[in-house]
């Protein structure tokens, strides 16, 4: 299986898949887009629009070679994300609440589909329980271990407008911001 780095899988893609990944990434808000800093509102209507949004996000996530994607990343300020709850299980989770988290934490490199080309060390609880609703409104709860617990914490952060830049060390943050600063091209 590909190495999982936060929200992103690191693997070589064939040219057709790589083309699809680029098209998907073009539909995902990129840092410093303002939507990424906003706090999303709870989902109230579990209607066809929400189910269509969840389906679209799952497809985008797969095409972008991600293992998680939050609605804020497609400019929709609703508390909804899609993620791999297991290797072959992709689910949508609305109004997620982390109801248990281990005191044991681990620092690992995380990538983000909205901050391309950057990997930052982030400390997360190794196991969590997360509860919420699926796209039909049914109550769900997942007990997660790494790497899926890490992804779910990353996506929950997105719904609060928190990026890995805020979760990493001051040094790593400074280095990342320097690499993200647009370069002035002469000539």
Residues with a known catalytic role? 155
Tokens coding 117: 């080309």
In angstroms, the CA 48 to CA 135 distance is 9
For position 156 contacting Zn ion by CB under 5 A, the verdict is no
In angstroms, the CA 70 to CA 80 distance is 6
Angle at 164 between CA 162 and CA 95, to 5 degrees: 40
- In the complex with Zn ion, which residue's Cβ is closer, 7 or 153? 7
Q: How far is the CB of 178 from Zn ion (least distance, A)?
A: 20
Q: Give the total of residues touching Zn ion (CB under 5 A).
A: 2
For residue 86, give Cα distances in angstroms to 3, 54, 144, 173: 14, 17, 8, 30
Whether the bond between 92 and the residue before it is cis, its omega within 30 degrees of 0, is no
Here's the x/- map for Zn ion, 96-115, by CB under 5 A: it reads as ----------------x---
Residue nearest to Zn ion (CB): 112
**Pair 162, 70: CB distance under 8 Å:** no
For position 125 contacting Zn ion by CB under 5 A, the verdict is no
- In the complex with Zn ion, which residue's Cβ is closer, 110 or 135? 110
Q: How far is the CB of 161 from Zn ion (least distance, A)?
A: 12
Handedness of CA 32, 150, 77, 50 (dihedral sign): positive
- In the complex with Zn ion, which residue's Cβ is closer, 21 or 46? 21
Q: Of the candidates 111, 92, 93, 124, which has an alpha carbon nearest to the alpha carbon of residue 31? A: 111
Q: How far is the CB of 130 from Zn ion (least distance, A)?
A: 16
Q: How far is the CB of 186 from Zn ion (least distance, A)?
A: 33
Here's the x/- map for Zn ion, 61-100, by CB under 5 A: it reads as ----------------------------------------
Handedness of CA 49, 31, 147, 156 (dihedral sign): negative
Single out the residue of 7, 72, 156, 168 in contact with Zn ion (rule: CB under 5 A).
7
- In the complex with Zn ion, which residue's Cβ is closer, 7 or 95? 7
Binding site for Zn ion (CB under 5 A): 7, 112
């Amino acid at each position: 299986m590909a190495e999982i780095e936060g929200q992103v899988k690191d693997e070589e893609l064939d040219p057709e898949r790589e083309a699809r990944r680029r098209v998907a990434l073009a539909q995902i808000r990129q840092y410093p887009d303002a939507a990424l800093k906003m706090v999303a509102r709870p989902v109230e209507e579990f209607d066809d629009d929400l189910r269509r949004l969840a389906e679209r996000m799952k497809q985008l996530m797969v095409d972008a070679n991600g293992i998680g994607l939050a609605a804020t990343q497609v400019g929709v300020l609703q508390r909804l994300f899609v993620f791999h709850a297991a290797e072959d299980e992709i689910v949508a989770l609305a109004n997620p609440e982390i109801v248990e988290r281990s005191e044991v934490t681990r620092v690992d490199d995380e990538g983000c589909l909205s901050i391309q080309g950057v990997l930052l060390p982030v400390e997360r609880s190794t196991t969590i329980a997360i509860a919420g609703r699926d796209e039909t409104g049914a109550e769900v709860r997942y007990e997660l271990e790494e790497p899926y617990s890490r992804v779910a914490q990353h996506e929950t952060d997105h719904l609060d407008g928190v990026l890995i830049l805020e979760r990493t060390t001051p040094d790593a943050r400074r280095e990342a911001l320097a690499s993200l600063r647009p370069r002035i091209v002469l000539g």
